[in-house]
Amino acid sequence: MDGMNIGTPDSIDLDAASVHPTQELHDSNAHLGDPERLRQDYEAQGYLLLRDVLDRSSVHRALKRMMAVVARYGIVAEDAEEPLWAGGRVQGRHEESPEFAGICRELIENPQNLAVMETILGEPACPVPMVNYRAYPPFSPLSMFHQDGQYSPGIKGYRPVWIPLMDIDTSVGGLALAPGQHKRGRLHNLAKPPVFPIPADAIPADAWATTRFHPGDVLVVHPWTPHGGTANVSDRVRFSIDTRVQSASNPCVVLGDVEAATEHSVTLRAKDGSRLQYVVDEESYLRTGENAGARLSLADFAAQTPIGLRVVAAVEGGKALMVRKASEA
């Protein structure tokens, strides 16, 4: 979904610290029994916020399991009951650490939670093996504000969902969105590869919105809605899960281990042993390098993608629209 040609090589990038939400996000709980109306809200607003719909005990279990992992690094105290910061810091790209494996899948596949995902999609749902486990201590570096659609072509077939695992007010920070800006299409600066940041002047300063989030809430973000995390200035570690769900009967995202990667195709071995081959071309967004958000050229994809790497691919008509390292739910 291309918008206007935004930015030049000299454009100033949007600084996450400059984003100060002035608007409030609104929930769509009144339409929970009407999947079509929820779809309309999602398309009109660029997001869908549902309050207190997930099974709270399952959310609390996910929080406790994540806390047990980060306690090994002194980020919270061992056996802590509350997510109070213990002074440790995150090392490297912890969001996709295999130490968290299984937490998200257990959360999504809870019967009550899976029913919510089916309501969001309007059909039976299943998790996508693309998960970021967020555990951000106070004053953590802020991530780049972005549109998911920039980095994940093919996302139209699945829905990005963000799940807070604790009470998140403005001091803890949370997700800030720019509602309505999704209608403008792509806002990233294509003149600044390989991460293509959004220019500072691309989004009005008063366009940003957030709210206080609670365990049991779920936020569905449109692929072209700009969003990002705000600063945590509290004494707590902010815990949340960022994942995706897709159609169970007609999945558009596949998981497999790389058997071959060339400038023209990628061949995967699926878990059931089947061999899957997809075309790649200049339109494919290839993200198998060390920088998970950076786009590789076809030549670099062929040269740098190791055999055996587990990846996910968004596919359509025999073509891989996107290939990236897997982070299994």
| Cα distances (angstroms) measured from residue 259 to each of 68, 266, 296, 310, 315 | 35, 8, 18, 10, 17
Furthest-apart CA atoms within the chain: distance in Å: 52
Q: Compute how many other C-beta atoms are within 10 angstroms of the C-beta atom of residue 109.
A: 15
Per-residue model confidence (pLDDT) at position 138: 97
> What is the residue-wise DSSP string for 30-92?
GGTT-HHHHHHHHHHHSEEEE-S-S-HHHHHHHHHHHHHHHHTTTSS-TT-SS-B--S----S
Length of the chain: 329
Angstrom distance (rounded) from CA 324 to CA 313: 7
- Identity at 57, one-letter amino acid code: S
CB 241 within 8 A of CB 182: no
Angstrom distance (rounded) from CA 192 to CA 203: 17
Q: Which residues make beta-bridge pairs with 246? A: 126, 158
pLDDT in tens, the chain (329 residues): 565 557 899 999 999 999 999 999 999 999 998 999 999 999 999 999 999 999 999 999 999 999 999 999 999 999 999 999 999 987 767 888 889 999 999 999 999 999 999 999 999 998 888 899 999 999 999 999 999 989 887 766 789 999 999 999 999 999 999 999 999 999 999 999 988 999 999 999 999 999 999 999 999 999 999 999 999 999 999 999 999 998 888 888 899 999 999 999 999 999 899 999 999 999 999 999 887 778 999 999 999 999 999 999 999 989 999 999 887 64
Angstrom distance (rounded) from CA 147 to CA 177: 10
CATH 2.60.120.620 fits 16-247, yes or no: yes
> What is the residue-wise DSSP string for 181-241?
GGGG---S-TTSTTT-PPBTTSS-GGG-EE--B-TT-EEEE-TTS-EEEPP--SSB-EEEE
- Quick one: CA dihedral 101, 107, 110, 116, positive or negative? negative
Q: Per-domain residue ranges for the chain?
A: 16-247, 253-325
> What is the residue-wise DSSP string for 77-119?
-TT-SS-B--S----SSGGG-GGGTTHHHHHHTSHHHHHHHHH
Angstrom distance (rounded) from CA 84 to CA 91: 18
Per-residue model confidence (pLDDT) at position 4: 58
Angstrom distance (rounded) from CA 141 to CA 35: 37
Question: Tell me, which fold does domain 253-325 have in CATH?
Answer: OB fold (Dihydrolipoamide Acetyltransferase, E2P) (2.40.50)
Per-residue model confidence (pLDDT) at position 2: 60
Where would I find the beta strands (DSSP E) of 115-186?
A: 125-127, 132-136, 158-164, 175-177
Angstrom distance (rounded) from CA 283 to CA 314: 12
Question: Quick one: DSSP state of residue 304?
Answer: H
CB 219 within 8 A of CB 43: no
This prediction has a pTM of 0.88
